[in-house]
């Protein structure tokens, strides 16, 4: 039976570390504000934003909360980002995605000052990751690396398989595991479905980030593997579940993350950590 990776408990530790860093920076007169921008009325996004604002409170990070109407224009949003880029009290800027369909997300990501890019979505941040330079990393893969380290799972020399190739999880995850000397394979929607089980079975570290409920089954898991589930899905009964069929996978895996209580809390905690890091970078301290 697998060891459960307790993301909730680890997230508390990451938040405590971020809170200590923020307090230290504040004592030197360095502000660590986080601007959180939500456009429109998507209930899911509103819930995520509430959770992020609560985390800010827990960490002593002053939050700057912007709730914009669904008919906000691209120009209005760009003007707000320009103001936040110039605001010395704002160390980090987060624009909650997805944006309403009439808004250009790519243009928004590009407009955020890379030094304040606490999501790690800007091409400068991703380019730094590709080149192996220090910088702000996307929160979900950064949180997964923290989890692997906390449980003594060293990627060096291991086979890592990532199912999913999004710009915010799959691609940066593969690069971060590569940087730690794993041999990486990335499976995606065009991977031959008959090959998928065999590819997953080669994984010492298996990261499921495809957004398909319970797609990764127990028999796809190599005995003793670390199984990391990024999914936030609903099963046939409407119950929250991940991209991994937990019940069958936990019988085979060495380590496994639960949903909820695994990757999700760590993603949020890494955002707090990124705010402190962004403030340090802006003041030449990192």
Are the C-beta atoms of residues 135 and 142 closer than 8 Å to each other?
Answer: no
What is the nearest approach in angstroms of ligand GUN to the Cβ of residue 182?
A: 23
Could you tell me the smallest distance in angstroms from the CB atom of residue 95 to ligand GUN? 6
Identity of the residue, 21 or 119, whose beta carbon is nearer to ligand GUN in the bound complex: 119
| Bridge partners of residue 164, in order along the sequence | none
Report if residue 94 touches ligand GUN, rule: CB under 6 A: yes
> Binding of ligand GUN at residue 37 (CB under 6 A)?
no
Which residues are catalytically annotated? 52, 96, 119
**Residue carrying the six token digits 């809390």:** 265
Q: Is 26 in the site for ligand GUN (CB under 6 A)?
A: no
Binding flag, residue 55, ligand GUN (CB under 6 A): no
Q: How many residues bind ligand GUN (CB under 6 A)?
A: 6
Is 203 in contact with 225 (CB distance < 8 Å)? yes
Candidates 72, 96, 159, 273: give the one binding ligand GUN (CB under 6 A): 96
- Write down the least CB distance from residue 121 to ligand GUN, Å: 7
Choices 26-34, 90-98, 185-193, 238-246; region in contact with ligand GUN by CB under 6 A: 90-98
Cα angle at 52 between 48 and 57, to 5 degrees?
150
119 is a site residue for ligand GUN (CB under 6 A): yes
- Looking at beta carbons only, is 158 or 268 nearer to ligand GUN? 268
Q: Does residue 90 bind ligand GUN (CB under 6 A)?
A: no
Q: Is 245 in the site for ligand GUN (CB under 6 A)?
A: no
> Applying CB under 6 A, does 68 fall inside the site for ligand GUN?
no
Residue 212 as a binder of ligand GUN (CB under 6 A): the answer is: no
Residue indicated by tokens 């936040």? 84
* DSSP, residue by residue, 246-280: HHHHTTT-SEE--SSSSHHHHHHHHHHHHHHHHHH
Least distance from ligand GUN to the Cβ atom of residue 195, Å: 29
CB of 72 vs ligand GUN, minimal distance in Å = 16
For residue 244, the 8-state DSSP code is B
Among positions 2, 38, 61, 95, the unique one binding ligand GUN when judged by CB under 6 A: 95
Give the binding site for ligand GUN (CB under 6 A).
94-97, 119, 139
């Amino acid at each position: 039976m697998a060891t459960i990776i307790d993301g909730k408990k680890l997230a508390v530790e990451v938040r405590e570390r971020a809170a200590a860093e923020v307090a230290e920076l504040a004592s030197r007169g360095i502000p660590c504000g986080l601007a959180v921008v939500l456009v429109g009325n998507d209930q899911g996004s509103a819930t995520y934003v509430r959770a992020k604002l609560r985390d800010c409170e827990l960490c002593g990070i002053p939050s700057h909360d912007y709730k914009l109407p669904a008919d906000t224009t691209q120009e209005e949003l760009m003007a707000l980002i320009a103001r936040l880029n110039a605001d010395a009290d704002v160390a980090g800027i987060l624009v909650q995605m997805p944006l309403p369909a009439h808004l250009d997300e790519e243009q928004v990501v590009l407009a955020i000052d890379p030094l304040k890019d606490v999501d790690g979505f800007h091409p400068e941040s991703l380019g730094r990751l590709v080149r192996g330079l220090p910088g702000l990393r996307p929160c979900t893969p950064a949180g997964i690396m923290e989890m692997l380290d906390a449980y003594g799972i060293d990627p060096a020399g291991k086979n890592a398989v990532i199912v999913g190739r999004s710009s915010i999880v799959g691609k940066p995850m593969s690069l971060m595991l590569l940087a730690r000397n794993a041999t990486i394979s990335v499976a995606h929607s065009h991977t031959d479905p008959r090959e998928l089980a065999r590819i997953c079975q080669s994984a010492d570290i298996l990261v499921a980030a495809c957004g398909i409920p319970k797609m990764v089954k127990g028999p796809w898991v190599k005995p003793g593997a670390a199984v990391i589930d990024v999914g936030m899905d609903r099963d046939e009964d409407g119950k929250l579940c991940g991209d991994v069929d937990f019940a069958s996978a936990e019988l085979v895996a060495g380590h496994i993350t639960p949903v909820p209580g695994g990757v999700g809390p760590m993603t949020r905690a890494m955002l707090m950590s990124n705010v402190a890091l962004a403030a340090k970078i802006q003041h030449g301290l990192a």
